[in-house]
Amino acid sequence: MWPVKVLMAHPAEFQVSYSINPYMKDEAGNLNQVDVPKAIKQWEALRDLFTHLGMAVQVLDAVPGLPDMVFTANQSFPFVNAEGRPSLLMSRMKSPFRQPEVEHFRTWAMKNKIQTYELKTSGNFEGMGDALWDYEAQEIFGGFGPRTSVEVYDQIRELTGKPVHLLKLVDERFYHLDTCLCLLGNSIAFAVREAFDEEGWSFLRTHFQTLKEIPLKEALENFAGNMLALGRQQIVMQSGAHQTKANLEKLGYQIHEVETSEFMKSGGSVFCMKLLYF
């Protein structure tokens, strides 16, 4: 079952004020400059598109000092627990800059009667940035390495009762699994080959009936690997990834292109900017 609920966080405090991934600095080594009014316009357009596509959108207020809170995919992992209750496993962000974001999501969950769980291990976990649902196959793909520690997936297996397929991320430009693997349902996936080791790539090739490769250039310049499927028909993606878009259209998808250039300056795009929850 595909979720219809979306949580976003307002970008009023969005900035690039530290660098924790290869996208946050320019060629001269300076932190990227964000145009905040432009970022707000791009974010509002994405929010309005979600609403237009029938999603129920909730918005968290911006918090001063937490510029990356807009990337609401990262602070938790949504699932339905054994009693059938909507639940979140709370993250432990790798960067100390981002760790204080998590409590705001915990508070929101409690207010919304969503059960929260805490990590049992000492490792890091960055929510649905690394733990991706195949909502149709009812399986989870778990990226690990740059941000998330592999051992957290034992707890995810236990909590969800679902299979978890582990995928090692080997290229720092693809520091979250959601930058390089898109699960579209119906045994279709798009992925960036460079992000995976031999073993991971051959697993993906045999696991899906259709696996399409996302060209490296489009993954880096257009964050094509960060596109979002909303059900079997609709894809929301950063504009400009022509090859990927053509491949999607051949498969019959309806594509909604958006502009996320200000957020790409922080290393994130569409998939990162929302939490799909139950």
- Cβ atoms within 10 Å of 35's Cβ, excluding its own: 12
Distance CA 47, CA 58 (A): 9
CA angle, corner 239, sides to 237 and 240, nearest 5? 130
Select from 51-59, 136-144, 173-181, 193-201 the region that touches ligand ARG (CB under 6 A): 173-181
Chosen residue from 3, 145, 225, 267 binding ligand ARG by CB under 6 A: 267
Nearer to ligand ARG, 161 or 176 (CB): 176
From 6, 8, 20, 229, residue interacting with ligand ARG (rule: CB under 6 A): 20
User: Distance (Å, rounded) from C-alpha 219 to C-alpha 196?
Assistant: 13
Distance CA 169, CA 57 (A): 31
Q: Please answer whether residues 36 and 86 qualify as being in contact, where contact means their C-beta atoms are separated by less than 8 angstroms.
A: no
Nearest CA among 188, 186, 190 for reference residue 178 = 190
Site string for ligand ARG, 191-230 (x = CB under 6 A): ----------------------------------------
Count of Cβ atoms closer than 10 Å to residue 117 Cβ: 16
* Residue 272 binding ligand ARG, by CB under 6 A: yes
Rounded to a whole number of angstroms, the minimum distance from the CB of residue 82 to ligand ARG is 27
Reading the block at residue 100, the tokens are 């204080």
Applying CB under 6 A, does 178 fall inside the site for ligand ARG?
yes
Nearest one of 135, 134, 46, 140 to 89, comparing CA atoms: 140
Tell me how far, at minimum, the Cβ of 275 lies from ligand ARG, in Å: 10
CA 236 to chain centre: 13
Min dist CB 146 to ligand ARG, Å, is 10
Instruction: Point out which residues pair with 234 in neighbouring strands.
Output: 230, 254
Instruction: Assess 71 for contact with ligand ARG (CB under 6 A).
Output: yes
Q: Does 13 bind ligand ARG (CB under 6 A)?
A: no
The strand pair at 139-144 and 164-168 is best described as: parallel
Rounded to the nearest whole angstrom, what is the least distance from the CB of residue 204 to ligand ARG in the complex? 18
- Binding segment for ligand ARG (CB under 6 A), chosen from 70-78, 116-124, 161-169, 198-206, is 70-78
For position 179 contacting ligand ARG by CB under 6 A, the verdict is yes
Which residues sit at the interface with ligand ARG, rule CB under 6 A? 20-21, 68, 71, 73-74, 98, 129, 176, 178-179, 266-268, 272
